[in-house]
Chain A
Amino acid sequence: MTSLRIPRSPKVIVGLVILSIFIVLTVIGPWIAPYDPNANTFIPNLTPSWEHWFGTTTLGQDVLSQLLVGCRVTMVVGFIAGLVATLISIAVGLAAGYIGGRTDEGLSLLANVFLAIPGLPLLIVINSYLPAGSQANPLVVGLVIALTGWAWGARVLRAQTMSLRDRDFVEASRIIGEKRWRIMWSEIGPNLLPIIAASLLFTILYAVGVYSTLAFLGLTNVSTWNWGTMMYWAQSNNAALANEWWWLAPPGVAIALVGTSLALINFGIDEFINPRLRAAGLTARQRRRVGLTRRPRLGFTPVLRQSPTDAKKVS
């Protein structure tokens, strides 16, 4: 087993930095918010200023405070849904891929069904039948999102498990007489880590997106502040027609930044899995540094043993 070594490429560092900022804001956001997000006592439609960094809404509320308070709910729902969905996909993917046979058939069918049913409409239907109290509860919504978002990860993990199942080291521990759970957990599991990590990032991305979409459509409790409800209120007060960019931009850019950071970290994991991508993304100066004298050409992509930025320290 190789230890999980996250490549320290600039992409990954930028991604990690952005994500950490948002995680810090998730924790302290509601405490450092300058005003009460519900207070509508300010002058409406102020452009950004020192008193109101992101201006005020048509309803006379402070945009920055809404953004900071909304960060927590958005991120927590995203992470809970992502974690739960990933746990389901690990369980299903490992079991289907390793046990095979009937178990595989059944679980694969289940995953295929969930993959084929369009997620957002299913979510809207389930959500609309929930009692009003549960609709307002971000935790319940997060679990429903997890229910619709696990299948993709399960499919990828199943494929990888199947390719690992018959390798020699797994065969060896089977012959030794290791228990099935132990083989799955400590022989196959660690080799799935990069894929699990990629699938976790992907699912969190999906969950944050889908939760704020539901909120934007006004299908969750519109008085709970998250980035989707901010957009919902902006949309229903025609912020776009009034050119109130300071109201629209913060929640939209915040969601996009969280998404970008997760995708950038995912790039790092991709480069870890597929060494060819490492060399493909180098600039001329980085190439010289790792000792590649020429541009990658057709039919010849150098496979780097280390991520280029690691190599810098070695040489």
Chain B
Amino acid sequence: MSGSSPRHKASERFDEKGTDGVRTLLRRLAIYLFTAWTTITVNFILPRLMPGDPIQQLIGKLQGRVTPEMIKAIKAQFGQGLNQSMWTQYVHYINQLLHGDLGISITLSSPVSDVLSSQIWWTVGLIGVGAVVSFFIGTALGVLFGWTRGSRADVVIPAATFLQSVPYYFLGTILIMIFAATLHWFPLMGAYDPSLSPDWSWTYIASVLRYGELPLASIVLSSLAGWMLGMRNMMVTTMSEDFVLMAVAKGLSRRRVMWHAARNAVLPSVANLALTIGLLVSGSLLVEQIFNYPGVGNLLVNAVGNEDYPLLQGIFLLITFTVLGANFLADALYYVLDPRTRTAAVH
């Protein structure tokens, strides 16, 4: 074995289980910071390196549509006609970002950061609530169906698999068709009654909640199955562990045993939470498109359609940074939940 020992050491050093939990957490943080930097750099390079010079084409199209000052500003943002080296442009770009300056939206003629800060809360509210609700309901169902494995309740597996494969936009459209357009149980689209003006009045808030019901239901329905199936599989595996058998042998009540197993089975779900946040945010761009709901996803699709590159870049940075932050929170949660990650490694 001595021949491969250097490799052994190397693998142990980077094995996450072998290191102290805090160090693991810091390492994750370093990865996220690196990813953030990569995203910024990609954002800087893409428009400058793409074939066909998209920015030049955009400026051509804009002539006469916007003021010469704006064209100048856009040119400056993408380094056109400044005769600066790539490096100077890059430093300038990062400096701008550090000051929260994301440039000026072409179609909306106002700073991208202002546009985003006025729209982001719709997205955060809808998707945040949707993610939390579906995680809890899905995990609870997974515990239940894992417990009753091998019984008739197993018919939910193929059903859940199918539900998981239904594309989100199809599910959303069908929900609108059945529950809003045909049965009139829910409002058709939008985020609040258009006759109201946004304020903190009770009628307005009630209207926002009412209009949010169907989009929320669609998010929960589409991501529920994934959590349920994952949790069920973990339950099946966990329930054959010795400590569960021990709990039964001690004569604990069924409910206590189930809780015992569930607490241990939920860890991979929490770990997956981090990986799923990105998917969820991506998929939920569609919610706003389908329900004509305000928010970042709606802005993004419009920005692509209008070739509003500054807005497009700003949204991409915002989404990526949010996902990275959420990832780190999920990692921290895992650290809190699993005591094994907190004890220093004993070799």
Contact = CB atoms under 8 A, between A and B. Distances in A.
A175 interface: yes
A131 B52 contact: yes
Nearest to B232: A280
Interface stretch (A25-33, A38-46, A117-125, A191-199): A117-125
Interface string A165-180: 1100001001100000
Contacts of B7: 100-101, 165
A249 B6 CA distance: 58
Given A118-B282, A129-B47, A276 B237 contact: yes
B182 A243 contact: yes
A52 interface: no
Contact of A298 (B181, B239, B304, B327): B239
A123 B245 CA distance: 48
A280 B150 contact: yes
A255 B245 contact: no
Interface in A56-115: 100-101, 104-105, 108-109, 112-113, 115
B275 A115 contact: yes
Nearest to A113: B35
B4 A117 contact: no
A213 interface: yes
A291 interface: no
Contacts of A127: 304
Contact of A118 (B6, B236, B281): B281
Interface stretch (B90-98, B118-126, B135-143, B170-178): B170-178
Contacts of A117: 35, 38-39, 278, 320, 323
Where chain B touches its partner, the secondary structure class is helix
Nearest to B319: A121
A100 B8 CA distance: 9
A241 B174 CA distance: 10
Nearest to B171: A252
A104 B174 contact: no
Interface stretch (B59-67, B154-162, B192-200): B154-162
A137 interface: no
A119 B233 CA distance: 26
A231 B170 contact: yes
Interface residues of B, number: 82
Contacts of B4: 166, 171, 174
Contacts of B150: 279-283, 287, 295-296
B10 A104 contact: yes
Nearest to B261: A298
Contacts of A245: 174, 177
Nearest to B10: A101
A249 B178 CA distance: 12
Interface residues of A, number: 80
A121 B35 contact: no
Interface in B233-284: 233, 236-237, 239-242, 244-246, 248, 257, 275, 278-279, 281-283
Given A121-B319, A252-B174, A213 B240 contact: no
Nearest to B328: A116
Given A241-B181, A259-B164, A280-B149, A301 B240 contact: yes
B46 interface: yes
Interface stretch (B107-115, B309-317, B332-340): B309-317
Contact of A121 (B290, B300, B309, B327): B300
Where chain A touches its partner, the secondary structure class is helix
A129 B161 contact: no
A202 to B, nearest CB: 12
A52 B161 CA distance: 30
Interface string B22-66: 000000000110110011000100110011101000000000000
Interface string A198-212: 000000010001001
A167 to B, nearest CB: 12
A260 B165 contact: yes
A280 B236 CA distance: 7
Contact of A113 (B31, B43, B233): B31
Contacts of B38: 113, 117
B307 interface: yes
A216 B4 CA distance: 52
Nearest to B258: A298
Contacts of B282: 118-121
A100 B10 contact: yes
B80 interface: no
Contacts of B185: none
A276 B50 CA distance: 51
A128 B177 contact: no
Contacts of B169: 213, 216, 231, 235
A17 interface: no
A277 B239 CA distance: 12
A121 B285 contact: yes
15 contacts: A108-B14, A109-B31, A112-B35, A113-B38, A116-B31, A121-B315, A129-B47, A213-B167, A218-B305, A219-B304, A240-B173, A240-B177, A260-B158, A276-B240, A298-B239
Given A121-B316, A240-B181, A276-B240, 15 more contacts: A104-B14, A113-B35, A116-B32, A117-B35, A122-B316, A125-B313, A166-B4, A174-B3, A213-B286, A219-B301, A252-B173, A298-B240, A299-B248, A300-B245, A301-B239
Interface of B: 1, 3-4, 6-8, 10-11, 14, 31-32, 34-35, 38-39, 43, 46-47, 50-52, 54, 149-151, 154, 157-158, 161-162, 164-171, 173-174, 176-177, 181-182, 188, 233, 236-237, 239-242, 244-246, 248, 257, 275, 278-279, 281-283, 285-286, 289-290, 300-301, 304-305, 307, 309, 312-313, 315-316, 319-320, 323-324, 327
Top 9 nearest A-B pairs (CB, nearest first) are: A299-B245, A259-B165, A252-B170, A120-B282, A131-B52, A118-B278, A301-B240, A240-B177, A129-B50
